[in-house]
Amino acid sequence: MPLAGRRGPWHAGTIVIQSRALTFRTIRPNDDAALAAANYRDAHFASYGAEGRYQGDENYVTWLRERVEEYPDGHVLAFFDEACVGQLELQVPYGLTTGYVNLFYVTPPFRQQGYGRLLHDFAERYFRSWEAARIELDVTRTNHRAINFYRHLGYRVTRARGFAWRMAKALP
């Protein structure tokens, strides 16, 4: 799937944002419930494997509904034409200058083609727009692909959190 060469228009503060060939829009928990839950479930599997205890689609969507209400422009789906390329769950809690990535997910057909970097570009813009100076996330220690991806993007492990590493990156 080729990427368009140049960065497209950026409309900060709106719910539909185009970045190169991708369109990002806020998750609509009613309409997107099945898609968002499938994405989350697959990311959960990548993180915890078959041993992981997934909370169930209904619980996830209930939780997601609250998150979207609180951080609408940080909870987005990315599309290439009609196809879902990924999902992000981002937040900068009120009064903090550290942003947190709860979900970073590229759908399987679009992996290893540069879309993860495009999603990360979106995340950086989101965090900057909320004046965050640092990004943090947790990644399970066995999710080597994700750890190496984050390292490649400049994240470093800052501490251990149970089965996960806390990774962080400064936003200059």
Ligand X SMILES: CC(C)(COP(=O)(O)OP(=O)(O)OC[C@H]1O[C@@H](n2cnc3c(N)ncnc32)[C@H](O)[C@@H]1OP(=O)(O)O)[C@@H](O)C(=O)NCCC(=O)NCCS
Residue 148 makes contact with ligand X by CB under 6 A? yes
Residue 68 makes contact with ligand X by CB under 6 A? no
Residue in 91, 57, 55 with CA at minimum distance from that of residue 76 = 91
Instruction: In whole angstroms, give the CA distance from residue 48 to residue 38.
Output: 15
What's the Cα-to-Cα distance from 108 to each of 11, 116, 128, rounded to whole Å? 28, 11, 28
Number of residues forming the site for ligand X (CB under 6 A): 20
Least separation, in Å, of the C-beta of 56 and ligand X?
19
Least separation, in Å, of the C-beta of 167 and ligand X?
9
Q: Which of 80, 104, 126, 130 binds ligand X (CB under 6 A)?
A: 104
Residue 146 makes contact with ligand X by CB under 6 A? yes
Least separation, in Å, of the C-beta of 50 and ligand X?
15
Tokens of 28: 């609509």
- Judged by CB under 6 A, the chain residues 42 through 61 that form the site for ligand X are 43, 46-47
The long-range contacts involving 5-13, CB below 8 angstroms and separated by at least 24 positions, are 10/125, 12/125, 12/129, 13/73, 13/129
Tokens of 1: 């799937």
Residue 159 makes contact with ligand X by CB under 6 A? no
Where does this chain bind ligand X (CB under 6 A)?
43, 46-47, 104-106, 111-117, 139, 143, 145-146, 148-149, 152
